[in-house]
């Protein structure tokens, strides 16, 4: 192997520190940045990587895995008896059917496609069902295959340009819904395929709302790929905002909401970078957009609304690793105002991250219990929740260990 080739972290002889260095380098992260995110010094990172310090305990291994977005702990530790997937949940039983629909290539003569209006009504019903269901992947996993195929067919059968653009707009948003089903499942290539097809369909539609939703989802996909992709996330977000801004004075609530959601996404990425000023400035800009929306408005794809801004503030504080501020923001946010069960569960997980950052593991576990009550599938697929639970199974407190173990069994991380 040439000396300048990065070794494969699955190569058995590599020890923990070397594996950590490989993943850090692949993420485009400096030792200083990794150290800051772990609450350690750059010299500590260097000593772990060069083997001067021994492999840290499980709680720190879990934090390293979270920061570096290492999905399987076995890849980081070299111990294949530890095949815990942090950021990939269990493959859902309906995943093959959704995959087949996305990969299908319907011919225009197969059958008559439903109208764009009919598809839009079905899409709205699917979003409503997702928000009200505790096991939301089960629900939309059953609806998506038919919806995807019908939307694909509608595009192919559209004869006139206006009809084709309308069908493309619906297809783009159907691909958007599919990404909520595919996220954190063991087929990242399929997720990216849906994201890219959604963006192409949105651009073909020329519909501002469809373009905004596709950009919002694409920016998240880039950001979740690690620090090396933050610039790509910002490029998508800011370019789309420049496209939408001139349209906002006469825009619908949905278009104004997606612009607000994109403002927050820019703040979210800034928080991931550690840019406190930009993160909170973007959050405040988004909050002002939300205040101009009707009090009961709730965007189906992004959850953008007045109700979600408190939850967004918790997320910003958590991503900035500000434990005390996270707890203060959590105290101000009212989860009960969030009408979506999966989004409410996601907020509870963010609150739990804040409590753990603030040194309150008991409150973190109690909050994760609330997340499970709201939407079991959300916590089951969430890497941050899985990390907190696994970390607390190693707690010095017997009470914490027992409570964490019970949660771990519920979400399938540990066997009963």
DSSP label at 259? H
What pLDDT is recorded for position 85?
A: 59
Checking if the pLDDT of 383 tops 70, the result is yes
What pLDDT is recorded for position 108?
A: 59
Angle 232-235-240 from CA coordinates, rounded to 5°: 135
DSSP label at 126? H
* Residue reference for tokens 């998508």: 236
What pLDDT is recorded for position 12?
A: 45
Predicted confidence band of residue 87 (pLDDT cuts 50, 70, 90): low
* Residue reference for tokens 């493309």: 168
Checking if the pLDDT of 100 tops 90, the result is yes
- The string of pLDDT tens digits covering residues 307-350 is 999 999 999 999 999 999 999 999 999 888 999 999 999 999 99
Asked whether the beta carbons of 392 and 404 are under 8 A apart, the reply is yes
Return the minimum-mean-pLDDT range out of 34-38, 191-195, 351-355.
Answer: 34-38
Q: Where do the domains of the chain lie, and which CATH numbers do they carry?
A: 16-77 (1.10.260.40), 91-206 (no CATH)
Nearest CA to 177 among 283, 291, 301? 301
Asked whether the beta carbons of 158 and 114 are under 8 A apart, the reply is no
Higher pLDDT, 280 or 396: 280
Angle 329-137-228 from CA coordinates, rounded to 5°: 60
What pLDDT is recorded for position 2?
A: 43
pTM of the model: 0.81
- The string of pLDDT tens digits covering residues 163-189 is 999 999 999 999 999 999 998 888 888
Nearest CA to 179 among 123, 272, 125, 98? 98
Checking if the pLDDT of 414 tops 70, the result is no
Asked whether the beta carbons of 338 and 303 are under 8 A apart, the reply is yes
| pLDDT (average), residues 241-250 | 96
CA distances (Å), origin 136, targets 128, 141, 226: 10, 8, 27
Angle 290-277-67 from CA coordinates, rounded to 5°: 95
- The string of pLDDT tens digits covering residues 1-17 is 344 444 444 444 578 88
Q: Distance between CA atoms of 254 and 289, rounded to whole angstroms? A: 12
Q: Distance between CA atoms of 187 and 182, rounded to whole angstroms? A: 8
DSSP for 124-163 reads HHHHHHHHH-TTHHHHHHHHHHHHHHHHHHHHHH--SHHH
Task: Return the sign of the alpha-carbon dihedral for residues 221, 45, 353, 277.
Answer: negative
Return the minimum-mean-pLDDT range out of 43-52, 106-115, 117-126, 186-195.
Answer: 106-115
- The string of pLDDT tens digits covering residues 389-412 is 888 887 888 888 889 888 888 887
Percentage of the chain surpassing pLDDT 90?
61
């Amino acid at each position: 192997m040439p000396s300048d080739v990065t070794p494969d972290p699955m190569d058995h002889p590599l020890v923990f520190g070397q594996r950590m260095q490989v993943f850090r380098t692949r993420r485009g992260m400096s030792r200083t940045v990794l150290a800051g995110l772990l609450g350690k010094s750059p010299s500590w990172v260097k000593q772990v990587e060069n083997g001067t310090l021994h492999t840290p305990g499980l709680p720190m291994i879990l934090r390293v895995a979270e920061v570096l977005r290492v999905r399987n702990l076995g890849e980081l530790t070299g111990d294949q008896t530890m095949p815990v997937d942090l950021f990939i949940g269990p493959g859902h039983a309906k995943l093959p059917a959704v995959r087949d629909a996305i990969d299908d290539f319907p011919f225009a003569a197969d059958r008559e496609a439903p109208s764009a209006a009919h598809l839009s009504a079905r899409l709205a019903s699917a979003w409503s069902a997702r928000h009200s269901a505790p096991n939301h992947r089960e629900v939309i996993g059953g609806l998506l295959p038919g919806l995807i195929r019908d939307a694909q067919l509608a595009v192919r059968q559209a004869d006139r340009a206006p009809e084709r653009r309308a069908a493309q707009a619906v297809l783009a948003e159907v691909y958007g819904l599919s990404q909520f089903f595919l996220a954190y499942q063991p087929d990242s290539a399929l997720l990216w395929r849906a994201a890219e097809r959604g963006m192409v369909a949105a651009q073909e539609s020329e519909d501002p709302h469809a373009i905004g939703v596709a950009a919002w989802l694409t920016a998240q996909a880039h950001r979740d790929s690690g620090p090396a992709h933050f610039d790509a996330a910002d490029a998508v977000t800011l370019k789309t905002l420049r496209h939408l801004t001139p349209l906002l004075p006469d825009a619908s609530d949905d278009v104004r909401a997606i612009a607000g959601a994109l403002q927050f996404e820019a703040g979210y990425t800034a928080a991931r970078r550690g840019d406190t000023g930009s993160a909170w400035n973007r959050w405040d800009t988004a909050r002002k957009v939300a205040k101009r929306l009707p009090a009961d408005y709730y965007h189906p794809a992004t959850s953008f609304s007045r109700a979600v801004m408190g939850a967004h503030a918790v997320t910003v504080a958590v991503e900035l690793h500000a434990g005390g501020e996270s707890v203060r923001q959590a105290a101000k946010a009212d989860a009960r105002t969030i009408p979506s069960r999966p989004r409410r569960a996601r907020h509870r997980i963010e609150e739990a991250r804040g409590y753990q950052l603030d040194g309150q593991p008991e409150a973190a576990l109690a909050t994760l219990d609330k997340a499970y009550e709201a939407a079991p599938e959300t916590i089951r697929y969430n890497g941050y929740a899985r990390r907190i639970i696994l970390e607390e199974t190693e707690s010095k407190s017997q009470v914490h260990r027992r409570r964490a173990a019970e949660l771990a069994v519920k979400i399938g991380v540990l066997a009963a």
